[in-house]
Structure 1
């Protein structure tokens, strides 16, 4: 996952899910060609804002200088527009040779034969696969196929208002439990007369960690990894906490979007991906920090590293050049110095060591990921089934509607599983 600047996450997920429907490779391929000087041209597409585009293009110029026989044509869009365009290109048999990708989409596009298996290129020496940081070694392997290579990492964290937590005297060190966390929320309510959390009940990736702490997971490789019996008490308790003011007033949370409830002083904390945390200092007036994920037993957090990745597409006529470009983007130290933490913490040790951030939020992100890696809590990520992006959007939307009083927890749970079943069956 990476920041999708300027858009509400619910909107992004909805648009991405709808636009991805029905993509397949049925038309004849139209791969990239060669230039008049004998150079091979490949196409690279990604999503992001203008700042990311400038950085990627600078990296491309450096790559072309080091590999003069490979030219890279670039294209970028906002998140939702990227997937719309990519789906159209893929359906027409002419997708870009290299795309920015995420784990949510791996099985969806693998099932439609869109993605390139990079293992053969690694065996030929065109793609370097060693030197990745702990937790990222086999990030995008599905059924023996290597469908992507991580360029950066992130992990779920609790972003807190440090001043509020300090005033309430809350110990949030690694190893704290959900009971410790909830006791802290009640203390914040008592001491500072504010909600302790923005409301975590619609965050699929947080609920996945809770399930993993208890021996399950949100997804299996084939579908859902839990049932109504697990979700109903979770959402019932969440609604009770909203009504009690332990979680923030959801009407206020909705009113200030896309601004963060934490940054606007409506709550003292919220769960999100660690690399999203840079937004709070820009939006808010307090001091913000990263706290570790609480656990059931004080040990197993269920955490893994998420990541943006680079994937090749199956219709490329230049798999060796694609692999060479991906290897450069993930290993060359100069790329890290250009990109910084724009796409998360650099995935390889060489790039992680090459860039030392100067700003406090980025330093905190790097320190946080180092801490959880050293603590040994990181586990392998479970590849998501096709349709996972639509399921995530439904979880967010239905959980939000429930907390706004639009439906009961019982009806919300039934609606979610009905929509999830449809989403997974139709992909």
Structure 2
């Protein structure tokens, strides 16, 4: 789900995580290992937050470690397999069942019952986001939802104004209008975004996942990718032979497309990366109402092997509820999950205001639904979906072959 660039630990003076699942000292001081994925900017913000925590809890020290998204999970998987997972770590919905099945995650409900972790004061029911089969395996730190990031200048010149409830037909007509009037593709190409396809399926009464497998058929995916291949060929979707070399720059900021689907809190990167004005547009619908959307979230989880579950819970509680942490983190981890942090940070920049307004509109319009459960292996399914969609778009695999290969890989991942 939230993938951002990583950076150097040395540049920040961070202490690398040591061995073991937490440690203690002769004077009663406890050391917790805390690991996450993200950029150097996120690391600086988290370091500032940790300094506040250690001031309030002088007997708890935090050792930190961070990497880019893919590297984080590679290292975490190795640590978890060796019984050496960090005491506290950043987590996401696609990994809860996977690592619960591997007996890695601490059920935090006991610590909540003991008063070390507050589960009240969350926005929009987010406190339930980390629940799996009655266990509390993660606590949300921020929320986000799928949105369409648009180049506002391109949309204005093309005479396109997306509004809540617009349909997929209207969306594709808008892309064609952009292509014809602005000389660039309408969209970067949404066909490989698992979380967007999930919304499309939910609009049709299905979902990407059930609790144990895939919630759609080969016929469904064949229809999705056949239409995508035709739109790439027509130029309504951007040419992947141009967008792939442009990475890590977005196809929108590289001026190869007028819009693309992503998580709403990622909107910050476009202003920093591009030359135009960028905004958030609503998800297209099938019936003018149902978007299939839910609030997603980054979470904090704890290791089942931690020697200090109380202190781990206290640290999570602080990072989730403390108002000063909310001010420091801003929207880096999404819109703050708790009312205390949401109220403490009021964005002054245009992009931040748009993100806040977008999520407020989602809540007030009552389009939000419960998130689809993610079975163990969901992360492998997402990687395969992106890879095969790209191969299909490049013409390296016929649609039928890409679909068949996807179901083969997904079924293997979900049964292992």
Q: Structures share a fold, TM > 0.5?
A: yes
Other-structure match for 2:258: 268
Partner Cα separation in structure 2 for residue 310 and residue 303 of structure 1: 22
Question: Shift in Å at residue 6 of structure 1?
Answer: 6.1
Q: Is the Cα contact below 8 Å between 1:209 and 1:217 reproduced in 2?
A: yes
Which of 376, 387, 401 is the equivalent residue of 2:391?
401
| Segment drifting more, 62-71 vs 345-354 | 62-71
Equivalent residues of 2:34, 2:65 under 8 A apart: yes
Residues 33-72 of structure 1: pairs in structure 2 closer than 5 A: 33-72=23-62
How far apart are the structure 1 equivalents of 2:263 and 2:209? 19
* CA-CA distance at 1:214 after TM superposition: 0.8
- 1:198 aligned partner: 188
Q: Which runs of 5+ in 2 are unaligned?
A: 8-18
Pair 1:210-2:226 in alignment:
no
Distance in 1, matches of 2:132 and 2:304, equals 15
The question of whether the paired residues in 1 share the 8 Å contact of 2:121 and 2:338 is answered with yes
Q: Distance in 2 between matches of 1:275 and 1:5?
A: 15
Hey, what's the Cα distance between the residues in 1 that align with 2:241 and 2:6? 21
Q: Which residue of 2 aligns with 1:236?
A: 226
The root-mean-square deviation of aligned C-alpha atoms, in Å, is 1.5
Determine the structure 1 residue equivalent to 2:337.
Answer: 347
Correspondence 1:5 to 2:32: no
Is the contact between residue 106 and residue 383 of structure 1 (CA under 8 Å) also seen in structure 2?
no
CA distance in 2, matches of 1:200, 1:233: 14
Contact 2:6-2:40 at 8 Å conserved across structures = no
Does structure 1 conserve the Cα–Cα contact (< 8 Å) formed by 2:3 and 2:68? Answer: no
Distance 1:266 1:6 in 2: 25
Residues 307-346 of structure 1 aligned to structure 2 (within 5 Å): 307-346=297-336
TM-score, normalised via structure 1 length: 0.92
Shift of 1:261: 1.0
Aligned residue among 36, 61, 78 for 1:88: 78
Q: What is the deviation of 1:402?
A: 0.7
Instruction: State how far apart, in whole Å, the 2-side matches of 1:128 and 1:181 are.
Output: 42
Residue 75 (str. 1) matches residue 52 (str. 2): no
Deviates most, 238-247 or 188-197:
188-197
Pick the aligned partner of 2:100 from 88, 92, 110: 110
Encode CA deviations 1:207-257: one digit per residue, 9 max, x unaligned. Answer: 000001111100111011111111111111111111111111121111212
Alignment match, 1:175: 165
- Contact 1:2/1:275 (CA < 8 Å) preserved in 2? no
Mean CA deviation greater in 187-196 or 287-296: 187-196
**In the TM superposition, what is the alpha-carbon distance from 1:291 to its structure 2 partner?**
0.1
Q: Does 1:247 align with 2:241?
A: no
Q: Verify: 1:360 aligned to 2:355, yes or no.
A: no
Q: Aligned to 1:399, what secondary structure does the other structure show? A: helix
**Equivalence for 1:21:** none
1:41 Cα deviation from its structure 2 partner: 2.1
The worse-fitting range, judged by mean Cα deviation, of 54-63 and 308-317 is 54-63
SS of match in other structure, 1:221: coil
CA distance in 2, matches of 1:230, 1:405: 20
The 5 Å alignment of 1:376-395 reads 376-395=366-385
Q: CA deviation at 1:194?
A: 2.1
Q: What displacement does 1:397 show? A: 0.9
SS of structure 2 residue aligned to 1:391: helix
Matched, 1:259 2:260: no
Structure 2 residue corresponding to 1:161, chosen from 136, 151, 155 = 151
| Pairwise CA distance, 1:281 | 1.4
Counterpart CA distance in 2 for 1:174 and 1:144 is 35
Who is 1:280 aligned against? 270
| Residues 2 and 344 in structure 1, CA contact (< 8 A), matched pair in contact too | no
Task: Indicate the SS of the match to 2:404.
Answer: helix
Deviation at 1:323, TM superposition (A): 1.0
- Say which SS state the counterpart of residue 296 (structure 2) adopts: coil
2:21 touches 2:307 (CA, 8 Å); kept in 1?
Answer: yes
Q: What is the SS of the residue equivalent to 1:181?
A: helix
Q: Partners in 2 of 1:5 and 1:92 — Cα distance?
A: 26
- Cα drift, residue 30 of structure 1: 4.7
**Contact persistence 2:127–2:139 (CA under 8 A):** no
Q: Distance in 2 between matches of 1:265 and 1:135?
A: 38
Displacement, 1:40?
2.2
Alignment size in residue pairs: 405
